[in-house]
Structure formats: C-alpha cells, structure tokens
A = this chain, B = another copy of it.
Amino acid sequence: MSNNNRNFGAGPGKIPDEVLKEAQLEFLSYQNIGFSVTELSHRSEAYAKINQEAQDDLRELLNVPSNYKILFLHGGGQGLFSAVAMNLIGENGTANYAVAGIWSKIAANEAKKYGRIDLVFPEPDSGTIPAINDWTINPKASYLYYCDNETIQGIEFPFVPDSKEVPLVADMSSNLLTRKFDVSKFGVIIAAVQKNLGTAGLGIVIIKDTLLDKALNICPSILNFKLINEYESILNTPPIFSIYMFGKVLKWIKNQGGLDKMEQLSIQKSQLLYNTLKQSNGFYHNNIPEQNRSRINVPFRINKGDVDMENKFLKEAEERKLFQLKGHKLVGGIRVSMNNAVTCEDVQVLVEFMKEFQQENQ
C-alpha cells in the first residue's frame, strides 16, 4: 500500500497498489452501474461476468486443460482441506499424504475424519524432502496429497511428485501463480486466495473432471465439488467481493507479463534475500536445505535464535516501514514473505536494512 509502507506478511498479504486503487475508485458504483460490487446480486449479469472472467483468466494464466474445471468455494484453506478428503477419499477409502511441514500436517489431520490416512514418508524434522523413490505410495490410495509450499517453515517442492496412477492433489495456497507448471500432472489443485491472489474468504479448486463425482454423502453442499461445478460456482451466494478482487489480481498479473514475469521476479527477489543470509556468515540463519528452500517465504533466526536481538530487528524494521516480518509463532524468529505483490524494490530496501543492522549489532 502507498505511503512507503512495505508489507512482507505471509497472508493475508500485500495486494498490488494498482488493484487497491481500482477497487477504491469503483467502490460506490461498480462499472458505473450505480451499485457497489458489495451490493451486487449473485444472479445479476454483472456478477456472472465477474465469475466467468475470473475463471477464464485463471485458465489462461495457468494454461488449464479443457478437461479441468475451476471452482470457487467459501471457507479458505481449512475448508479446502476438509473438502479434498470428503470429495476424493470415497466410501471406506484411504489416502496418502506427504507431510513435509505444518500445513500438510493440518490437512492430513483433517482428512483423518473421513478415512485412513497414511504418510508416504516419516515427518522430516530438518526441512529435507525425501527423494520420490523413498516415498511409500499405496497404488490403491484414492489420492496423494502434498503442500507445494510450506509457508511456516519456508519449504518448497523443487519437483512435482510422480504419483503414477494415484491422483495427485496439491495445496498451492502460497505459490500458485508464482511459477509455471503443468496442470495436467495433477488431479486437483487447491488454493486459498489471501496470500498471492487477493483478499480472504475464497478457496480455488482446479479439478480434473473425472474426479468430480466421488463425494461422500455427508459432504456439506458448500464443499461438494460436483454440485459447485453444476452451479458454475454460484450454488449459493458466493464470497462476491473476494472473487471480484481475485479477478482484479489475475488481470494485474496478466498486465505485468504473466507467469513468466512472476516466476522471474520471484527468483530474483528470493536470490537477493538468500544471498544476504549467506553473506551474513551465520548472523542470519535459515536451516532449510538449499534445494528445498521456498522462493516465497523465508524464515530465519538472528544470532542463533537470540530473541532479544530479533525483537530489536523487528522494532527497527518497523521504524523503516518494513512490516509483518515476525516469524510464525510455531518457529519464531523472522519471516520474509515475498508474494507477487511484493516488489524487488521492497526486498532491496529490506536487505539494505538487514546489512546495516548486522553491522551495528554483530
């Protein structure tokens, strides 16, 4: 947001300035129709267009094949965790989970309500993702689930797991639209929008059409993929404002140069930061093995976990208008999240501060 504040929050995170300004400008009268988008009927032509364009733009940006459906759900990430299990595990089913961090663990625990959940490798404590050959995948599992980017520990998968015949399900809440990938390798992709994609209240599902018809009877209608698909994501009143903002963010990404540009910037920003950690000779320390480090979320400790020093860092950062740098309470320390809306300049200003802070406090 304007006035030189820089927001490094993981999520809800920064939204592009251009998107916020556009939304503000038309807040009282959406496209001069005389009503606010917040008052728009979900049965209106204006909303049908918002709904359709958001789907079309996401399809275009990710090159989603025509046999995949795009769904909009209430409920955010936690709702999606339940929805995945209830829609895919089948009666008396079993599923495999690759738990490499906290979000995949929460998803696995939620899924245990609905069937048998087996982990494909023991939970790593070091941030090391085992090589795919070391995964124990049950060929009869209804699906194999993983979280592509773990925001809390700062772990990102450098490969798409080869799940053979088992449908692959990925949570991409924190890195969708930050790099190119082949959607056709997946059965289902889920993402809550409040990180890279907009404002809270909306979950996105991209699903291969052959997987639509497997929901358990006890699945609530608002989480039922088949039903939501039949209603083209207007089963009940959708989270209209979140979908509207999501649509604006998609158009912003297209205007910036699409996924090529987002991926390039993401590499550039994360390299700048990781290089600064490396050059600090241990003053700033991230413990994730290099090949599994996240481009999006970079947690680190200062002086081997000196909490007083970390608090000093956070305080001085805020004086420089560098915000939302506190690490997640489960891991402590500092966390820098570099969502799409965070600019190279934002990261440049941050690393300059980090270098100065080290000089003054080492």
Residues of chain A having any CB pair with chain B under 8 Å:
1-3, 5, 7, 9, 11-15, 20-21, 23-24, 27-29, 34-36, 38-42, 74-79, 81-83, 86, 110, 113-114, 192, 194, 198-202, 217-223, 235-242, 245, 321, 323-324
Contacts and interface: CB of A to CB of B under 8 A. Distances in A.
A169 to B, nearest CB: 16
A7 B35 contact: yes
A238 B239 CA distance: 12
Nearest to A193: B237
A86 to B, nearest CB: 8
A356 to B, nearest CB: 22
A12 B27 contact: no
A222 to B, nearest CB: 5
A199 to B, nearest CB: 4
Given A76-B237, A201-B238, A220-B220, 8 more contacts: A1-B29, A12-B39, A12-B42, A74-B201, A76-B222, A78-B236, A82-B220, A82-B221
Most chain B CB atoms below 10 A, which of A27, A39, A40, A217: A39
B222 A41 contact: no
B24 A192 contact: no
Nearest to A24: B27
Given A20-B36, A28-B1, A75-B75, A200 B110 contact: no
A204 to B, nearest CB: 14
A23 B20 CA distance: 12
A5 B27 contact: no
Contact of A199 (B38, B222, B223): B38
Contacts of A75: 74-75, 79, 220, 222
A39 B199 contact: yes
Contact of A1 (B34, B201, B219, B324): B34
A41 B76 contact: no
A22 to B, nearest CB: 11
Contacts of A7: 35, 39
Contact of A3 (B29, B83, B86, B201): B29
Given A34-B3, A110-B221, A237 B192 contact: yes
A218 to B, nearest CB: 5
Most chain B CB atoms below 10 A, which of A74, A83, A200: A200
9 contacts: A1-B34, A7-B35, A12-B38, A14-B39, A20-B27, A20-B36, A74-B239, A113-B220, A220-B223
A197 to B, nearest CB: 12
- Which are the 5 A-B pairs with shortest beta-carbon distances? A82-B220, A201-B239, A5-B34, A38-B199, A78-B236
Contacts of A1: 28-29, 34-36, 39
Contacts of A36: 1, 15, 20
Contacts of A238: 200-201
A40 to B, nearest CB: 6
Contacts of A40: 12
A132 to B, nearest CB: 30
Contacts of A192: 237
A94 B220 CA distance: 18
A154 to B, nearest CB: 17
A78 B5 contact: no
B200 A11 contact: no
Contact of A2 (B24, B29, B83, B113): B29
